[in-house]
């Protein structure tokens, strides 16, 4: 059985598509598209230079056009917050009165006791309700909630 140049390009393209399954980012898929184009050019009987140009051009075009579209569709932000980011918007109760000068105190949120800083100068006393606005390092930034 005689192998033609387009066989090599097609085989390389298939190998790259299979490898893409194990490598995230759609980079190998873009190269596989270039291989498909080079295989088509080789099938038309054009020379190695034309094949390399087709491979390069199609790979670059797919990398800069198709890959961003695929990345947006496949790597969507699910909106599910995890770890400390999940605390934003949660309500808690003050467990240690906030120091008026430093605006620091302690807050219980979801059964855990956290160091907290208030966003206002309003005094927060033990038992007051607060809402977590953000998280900075290991400190919750909270604002008071009217009971």
pLDDT tens per residue, range 130-144: 999 998 888 999 999
Angstrom distance (rounded) from CA 16 to CA 28: 6
Angstrom distance (rounded) from CA 105 to CA 22: 48
Query: Domain check: are 52 and 106 in the same one?
Result: no
Query: Domain check: are 35 and 87 in the same one?
Result: no
**Boundary of a domain, candidates 74, 94, 124:** 74
- Comparing 33-47, 64-78, 109-123, which segment has the lowest mean pLDDT? 64-78
CB 90 within 8 Å of CB 115: no
pLDDT band at 77 (very low <50, low <70, confident <90, very high): low
Is 3's pLDDT higher than 80?
Answer: no
Is 123's pLDDT higher than 90?
Answer: no
Query: Domain check: are 88 and 68 in the same one?
Result: no
In the chain, pLDDT over 90 holds for what percent of residues? 55
Q: What is the pTM of this model?
A: 0.53
């Amino acid at each position: 059985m005689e192998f033609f140049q387009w066989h090599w390009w097609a085989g390389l393209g298939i190998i790259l598509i299979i490898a893409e399954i194990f490598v995230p980012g759609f980079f190998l898929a873009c190269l596989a598209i270039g291989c498909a184009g080079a295989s088509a050019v080789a099938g038309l009987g054009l020379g190695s230079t034309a094949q390399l140009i087709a491979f390069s051009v199609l790979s670059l075009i797919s990398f800069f056009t198709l890959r961003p579209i695929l990345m947006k569709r496949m790597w969507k932000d699910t909106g599910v917050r995890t770890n400390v980011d999940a605390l934003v918007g949660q309500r808690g109760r003050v467990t240690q009165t906030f120091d008026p000068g430093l605006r620091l105190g302690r807050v219980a949120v979801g059964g855990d006791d956290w160091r907290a800083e208030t966003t206002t100068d309003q005094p927060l006393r033990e038992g007051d309700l607060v809402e977590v606005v953000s998280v900075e390092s290991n400190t919750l930034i909270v604002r008071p909630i009217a009971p």
